[in-house]
Amino acid sequence: MNTEELIERIDGDPYEAHRLLDEKCPNIERRFKRLTKALAALLDEVKQEYPDANYYTASGGFNLLLGEIEGGSSMIALSASSYLSVGDGDF
């Protein structure tokens, strides 16, 4: 189902996207929670040594920074940009 079809189907119902996902991919919510909790735990571990560490997405990338973004790209310690794309922006 493409975005246009999804927009028609969802039609403003805030729960329909979740229902649609669960219908076609019933184990995805559990896996998503497991993976995002693991990301949170990883960041907590890094913050024990680098308290200002954080994740940063820019231009579709996903990066682990050791400090605040004000430090620029030199703060990027790890990047998943070659295999993980994250959309950025506001709705």
Is residue 51 pLDDT above 90, yes or no? yes
Confidence class of residue 91 from pLDDT cuts 50, 70 and 90? low
Confidence class of residue 58 from pLDDT cuts 50, 70 and 90? confident
In the three-class reduction of DSSP (H, G, I as helix; E, B as strand; rest coil), residue 81 is classed as coil
For the segment 23-35, what is each residue's pLDDT rounded down to a tens digit?
999 999 999 999 9
- In angstroms, what CA-CA distances link 34 with 30, 38, 86? 6, 6, 18
Instruction: Tell me whether residue 10 is exposed, middle or buried, using C-beta atoms within 10 angstroms of its C-beta: 0 to 12, 13 to 18, 19 or more.
Output: middle
User: What pLDDT, on the 0 to 100 scale, is given for residue 90?
Assistant: 66
User: What pLDDT, on the 0 to 100 scale, is given for residue 60?
Assistant: 83
